[in-house]
Amino acid sequence: MRVFEVNLVGDWDSYLLARLLVTGAGLMPLVAVSYVAMLVAHQPLLAAFIALWAVCFLSIASLSSLARSLGVFIVVLITYAMLLPVALASLYQEYSAANGSPPPALDYLTYYTSPLMAHYYGVGGLMVVSGLSGFLVALIVSLIVTLVYFLVGRRMELNP
């Protein structure tokens, strides 16, 4: 099937870009519902965090889609979407109970895995990193992961 798709779009880079765009289009209904909920709740600031979540999820989903097995793909997405946010919430609860502050790397990871949760923790004073800094680092990491997706995908062209 992959040979047919590559022949259809022309070259390997176009194929990878088309996969990225199709995955992004699949996220649009979820993002649209989130935007409606945000508007109903009168929280316009959350639009940026919803968009950041979509970009971060798209970067992880695209890179994990290059895995040779469906099991690896599902494990990566479940870990990113559910296990890491729950573990991070537990860690922040422990830091809050101990009246301590988490390391900045943990704040950046929270912005990358679940920006909405990071925003609320930042508003609550649980984060050391500023909101803009966390937002920008998560965006840069997403761009790097997307670049790695293109590099690994191009490498897989040579060894399908």
- Tens of pLDDT, residue by residue, the chain (160 residues): 455 555 565 667 777 777 788 878 887 887 788 788 878 878 877 888 888 898 999 999 988 988 888 898 899 989 998 999 999 999 988 888 888 888 999 999 999 999 989 988 888 888 889 888 999 999 999 999 999 998 888 887 645 4
Q: How many domains does the chain have?
A: 1
pTM (2 d.p.) = 0.81
Are the C-beta atoms of residues 152 and 66 closer than 8 Å to each other? yes
103 HSE (CA, 13 A, CB side): 3
Structural domain boundaries, residue 136 = 2-158
Q: What is the pLDDT of residue 69?
A: 85
Are the C-beta atoms of residues 12 and 149 closer than 8 Å to each other? no
Residue 49 parent element (H or E): helix 46-64
